[in-house]
Amino acid sequence: MDSVTAEASRSSVSELWNAFSSARSEEDYFQGWLALQSGLIPGVVQSLLIMTTPLNTFSPVAGWPEGKNDPLQLSDVVERVLEERCGLLVELPASSHYGIAYPLLIDEELRGVVALEISVTAEQVLQKAMEQLQWGIVWMEVLVRRKQAEEDRTTLIRLKTAVDLLAETLGKEHFSEAGIAFTTKLADATGCERVSLGFMRGKHIKLESVSHSSEVGKKMNLTRSIEAVMEEAILQRREVAYPPLDNEILICREHEALSRQQSMASIASFPLFSHDLYYGVLTCERAANQPFNQLDVEFMRAVAALSGPALENKFANDRPLGIKVQLALQKQWIRLAGPGYVKRKLALAAMVVLMVFFSFATGEYRLSADTTLEGAIHRAIVVPFDGYIDHAPSRAGDRVEEGQLLCSLDNRDLGLKKLSKLSEYRQLEQQYQDASANHDRAKSGIIKAQLDQARAELDLIEANLTRTQMIAPFRGLLVSGDLSQRLGGAVKQGEVLFEVTPLDAYRVILKVDERRIADVRATQKGTLVLSSLPDRKYPFVIDRITPIARAEEGRNYFRVEAHLERLDDSLRPGMEGVGKIHIDRRKWIGIWTRDLREWMTLTLWSWMP
């Protein structure tokens, strides 16, 4: 391109400023700014402005002089600036001109590039040209930031509106109230004459809510037309607007028909999608002179995505119980019969196989019961007469041998009494000898009787002295009794001081629930596992079933007694555990479902008249 001097190709600076300041559109702003920069920088042959597009690509938006510039001359330097993201001054190939390019960086993001072809060669002029370009690029940054601020403000307002719509929806208890409130507020916020909301019922959509109206379906023709519009959007699986946006190729026959029916109104429909399913449609109608633009579509799409699930949830909750059950069963059947959900199908197949197996397989039926271990014999050691504790070397928990001293009573009073009675006996014996020597038969008979009485009393005292030593009747374990804190204390005749049980004879006590006592028979065998010895099993045999039930912990139990077939030294009276009585062999399914079947039988019996 032939070089054109700056004086011949530019208007005056004032005219350029006026053209720049009076710009009414973004394109005029770009062209005015580029012309102003080209006029302020001497020696400019041509200039080019490249900006980002909504698709994040770079495209020329202005050139100078208009219609006479050659962008290819500056393409190499522009590409280098896009890559290096910094200002460049290079000598253009096959020319004596220089190329100057400077990037528009906003918040570390490249938003555009301005490039100039300059015919001057003086270093000072080139440096001033670069400085002017750096100062002038600020105007472009102002435009970008102003545009971004307007977009942010618009986005904030629409976001607030969307959140208010969601709050309005969530604030209603039932779907009918929420649907009317949502459509009415959306119509007011977007300037729509009517907003309609429809939900899928089976394979077809049904109009559920209309803005500014609590009655739906009375205008049958209009209702069918709106539902047809919604069906059209659902079938195409995307938003449908009439008139179409950006030359979209969509089927909008029903939208066009409704638009003609409503005096050429503008219509936009937005399918509601969630959980891989289209469940409803939102349809908005405006006057013919207010067509929907891309920003409106984006806003309503966001509103539908935000409030749609809440409306769907309320719609589902307000359905009758029968429909809820039917839909839930259909959903599960679709998942089982349709593609996917492999784990669920495998789980169901495994469950069916197990049910079939356990319906025919048999196993041993064992009845569980809480069990306590008791000694076969409980021997009580009681006080033979009133007295005082003198010595008590044994207490509960001690193992004792046969004849081992358990405790002793104070025998000093008995000893004195014995001496007194023995002296009396000797005196009577002397008197008896004197009466016999004098042949006084009457007196000797009386004294003889007194001697027998004194002998008996002495024997009683001797026996009581022996009984002051309370010893173990057999080898065993003291299960009760601790006199270590009662030494010197008084005890009464008949008071139980100790209880002894043998260690080689035990009785197993099982508490069997009354619902299962009919299964228990004498001589049945079982197995006992004690809480303190969980790794050992003790076989037992049922001996006796008491015919009287006892109430414990809100249930009735029968006491069943058994004896152990095997003993060891680790067993102790009072141990508790779980015993299982071996009843017979039954089907597994019958064993596991018996409680349920009996409960259902009893419940039905109680309900029957």
Residue 28 within any structural domain of the chain? yes
Does residue 564 lie in a domain region?
yes
pLDDT given at position 382: 85
Look at residue 512 and tell me whether its pLDDT is greater than 80: yes
Same domain for 187 and 144, yes or no, is no
Higher-pLDDT residue of 512, 457? 512
Statement to judge: residues 188 and 143 lie in one domain:
no
Measuring CA to CA, which residue among 485, 185, 524, 538 is closest to residue 373?
538
Confidence of residue 282 (pLDDT cuts 50, 70, 90): very high
- Residues 391-397, mean pLDDT to the nearest whole number: 83
Residue 59 lies in a domain: yes
176 and 264 in a single domain? The answer is yes
Residues 142 and 184 in one domain: no
CATH of the domain at 602: 2.40.30.170
CATH of the domain at 54: 3.30.450.40
Least confident of 128-132, 554-558, 579-583, 601-605: 128-132
Domain membership flag for residue 365: no
pLDDT digits (tens, 9 = 90+) for 6-33: 443 444 677 777 777 777 788 888 888 8
Note whether 543 and 584 are same-domain residues.
Answer: yes
Highest mean pLDDT: which range of 90-94, 232-236, 423-427: 232-236
Q: Are residues 112 and 211 in the same domain?
A: no
- Residue at token pair 């809100």: 554
Percent of the chain with pLDDT over 70: 96
Please, which pLDDT band fits residue 562 given cuts at 50, 70 and 90? very high
* 527 and 495 in a common domain: no
Q: What pLDDT, on a 0 to 100 scale, did the predictor assign at position 10?
A: 43
Mean pLDDT of 433-455: 82
Between the ranges 52-61, 324-333, 514-523, where is the mean pLDDT highest?
Answer: 514-523
Q: Which pLDDT score, from 0 to 100, does residue 14 have?
A: 76
The residue-averaged pLDDT of 559-577 equals 88
Residues across the chain: 609
Please give the mean pLDDT across all residues of the chain: 83
Given a cut of 90, whether residue 539 has pLDDT beyond it is: yes
Residues 322, 324, 329, CA angle at the centre, nearest 5°?
95
122 and 96 housed in the same domain: yes
- Higher local confidence (pLDDT), 542 or 480: 542
The alpha carbon of residue 396 and the mean position of all alpha carbons in its chain are separated, in whole angstroms, by 52
Look at residues 287, 12, 16 and name the one whose alpha carbon lies nearest to residue 136.
16
CATH number of the domain encompassing residue 437? 2.40.50.100
Do residues 11 and 132 both lie within one domain?
yes
- End of a domain among 116, 150, 184? 150
pTM higher than the cut 0.85:
no
pLDDT at 219: 66
Q: With contact defined as beta carbons under 8 Å apart, do 383 and 491 qualify?
A: yes
Asked, for residue 303, whether it belongs to a domain, the answer is yes
Please give the residue range of the domain that contains residue 511.
505-607
| pLDDT exceeds cutoff 90 at 577 | yes
Identify residue 2 by its one-letter amino acid code: D
**In DSSP terms, which residues pair with 399 in a beta bridge?**
477
pLDDT of residue 7: 43
3-state helix, strand, coil in the chain (%, to 5): 45, 30, 25
- Residues 259, 215 contacting (CB under 8 angstroms): no
- 290, 282, 239: which is closest to 264 by C-alpha? 290
The span from the CA of 185 to the CA of 183, in Å, is: 6
Q: Is 457 inside any structural domain?
A: yes
Q: Based on the domain organization, do 63 and 141 belong to the same domain? A: yes
Residue 120 has pLDDT above 80, yes or no: no
pLDDT at residue 439 tops 50: yes
464-481: pLDDT as tens digits: 888 888 888 888 888 788
Q: Which of 267-271, 372-376, 392-396, 489-493 has the highest mean pLDDT?
A: 267-271
Q: Are residues 491 and 529 in the same domain?
A: no
CB 387 within 8 A of CB 490: yes
The reply to whether 464 and 514 lie within a common domain is no
Distance, CA of 390 to CA of 487 (rounded, Å): 6
Contact criterion met (CB below 8 Å) for 114 and 47: yes
**Domain-ending residue, one of 464, 480, 499:** 499
Q: Tell me, yes or no, whether 352 lies in a domain.
A: no
Number of independent structural domains in the chain = 4
Tens of pLDDT, residues 396-410 = 878 888 888 888 888
| Phi, psi values for residue 280, rounded to 5° | -175, 180
Rounded Cα gap, residues 498 and 529, in angstroms: 29
Task: Pick the last residue of a domain from 499, 515, 535.
Answer: 499
Q: Tell me whether residue 344 is in a domain.
A: no
Structure confidence at residue 12 (pLDDT)? 65
